[in-house]
């Protein structure tokens, strides 16, 4: 998504990703090229940060005629904030769900009623615990869980980077039992990613977005990491998949944890966000490669036996609309005895009521 995440893949003698460079119309002016190995088996690109950049870059890629992406595996590989209730800094995470957490109503924290826990309310709804009634379709994406498990198993072969500063900083979270995971050593975790263009910090916002993740995934999602691009990337890939340009079951979201999404008990949220030395940025960047290369080589080594034909998805994959077929296992539905035929509750934009 930005320079350090891309640069970590360059200059590796046994894996020359810069052998072929293809300029793609519509890519970011900062990152105009896709970089590929000499045999064309593996390519890497940098989208640019934020939802708009990610969506535009990926939409440009999938329609560029030089690339045949119909059997391509896509791995989003970047850093992220992390929820200390689930994981710790310098961990590597793989997501089943990506949730666009900021696609909600927002009231200033200074103006909300005293009985509100945050300033966020799902769109079209009247309370934080009501499923969004105004649905855009990008709120939730579900990925191939079997592929998620395989990618995580590959990544667990890596020895992850850490730092003395990260060890010292995460120790502050040991004072609260709810943050046991945050105080632990980095590891490979399967948990879910939140997308927001706003780079947020603090218990109030992180808790609100964690609750929203659980709400819109009907209790299945585990809010773990925070990023700015993933739902945008997935929407572009989903539209391409609907036109048979890519295979949506071949997508991996890997995020390494560069910072905590909230302070340790007694620390100010502003300190956590702006001033603390968490010691995780450089190790988490390095862990993109250390874990990611295990995934890449695992897929290449197992191509003929497993990956050419694709990893069968036994869970639902796609968006809330069922764009790619099947019945979503999340959304404002009540399922009847036929699991393929959901009965939708009324979903009417509030402004039309």
Choose between 353 and 66: higher pLDDT.
Answer: 66
| pLDDT tens sequence across 28-71 | 999 999 999 999 999 999 999 999 999 999 999 999 999 999 99
**Domain 73-352 fold:** Rossmann fold (3.40.50)
Q: Quick count: other Cβ atoms within 10 Å of Cβ 342?
A: 17
What is the rounded CA–CA span in Å between residue 348 and residue 132? 10
- What's the pLDDT at 13? 80
Cα-based angle 225, 229, 232 (whole degrees, multiple of 5)? 125
| pLDDT tens sequence across 89-142 | 999 999 999 999 999 999 998 999 888 989 999 999 999 999 999 999 999 999
DSSP H stretches of helix in the chain: 3-7, 51-62, 145-155, 164-170, 203-216, 230-242, 269-270, 281-301
CA distances from 25 to 231, 240, 246 (A): 22, 17, 19
For residue 7 the two structure tokens come to 């640069």
At 333, the pLDDT band (50, 70, 90 cuts) reads low
What pTM does this model have? 0.93
| Residues in a beta bridge with 253 | 76
What is the rounded CA–CA span in Å between residue 129 and residue 238? 28
């Amino acid at each position: 998504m930005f320079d350090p995440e891309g640069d970590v893949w360059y200059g590796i003698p046994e894996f020359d990703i810069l052998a072929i460079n293809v300029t793609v119309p519509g890519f970011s002016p900062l990152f105009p090229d896709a970089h590929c190995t000499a045999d064309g088996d593996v390519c890497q690109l940098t989208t640019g940060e934020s939802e708009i950049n990610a969506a535009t870059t990926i939409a440009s890629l999938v329609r560029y005629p030089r690339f045949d992406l119909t059997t391509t595996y896509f791995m989003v590989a970047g850093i992220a904030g992390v929820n200390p209730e689930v994981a710790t800094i310098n961990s590597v995470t793989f997501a089943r769900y990506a949730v666009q957490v900021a696609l909600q109503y927002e009231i200033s924290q200074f103006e909300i009623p005293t009985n509100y826990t945050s300033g966020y309310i799902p769109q079209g709804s009247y309370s934080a615990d009501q499923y969004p009634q105004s649905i855009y379709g990008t709120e939730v994406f579900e990925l191939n869980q079997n592929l998620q498990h395989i990618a995580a198993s590959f990544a667990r072969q890596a020895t992850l980077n850490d730092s003395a500063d990260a060890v010292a900083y995460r120790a502050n979270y040991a004072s609260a039992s709810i943050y046991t995971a945050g105080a632990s050593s980095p590891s490979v975790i399967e948990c879910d990613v939140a997308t927001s263009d706003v780079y947020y910090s603090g218990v109030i916002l992180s808790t609100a977005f964690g609750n929203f993740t659980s709400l819109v995934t009907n209790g299945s999602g585990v809010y773990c990491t925070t990023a700015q691009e993933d739902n945008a990337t997935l929407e572009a890939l989903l539209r391409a998949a609907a036109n048979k340009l890519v295979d949506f079951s071949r997508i991996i979201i890997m995020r390494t944890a560069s910072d905590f999404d909230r302070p340790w008990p007694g620390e100010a949220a502003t300190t956590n966000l702006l001033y603390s030395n968490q010691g995780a940025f450089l190790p988490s960047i390095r862990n993109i490669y250390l874990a990611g290369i295990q995934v890449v080589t695992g897929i290449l080594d197992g191509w003929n036996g497993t990956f050419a034909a694709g990893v069968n998805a036994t869970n639902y994959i796609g968006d809330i609309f069922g764009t790619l077929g099947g019945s979503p296992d999340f959304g404002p539905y009540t399922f009847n005895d036929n699991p393929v035929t959901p009965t939708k509750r009324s979903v009417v934009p509030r402004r039309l009521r």
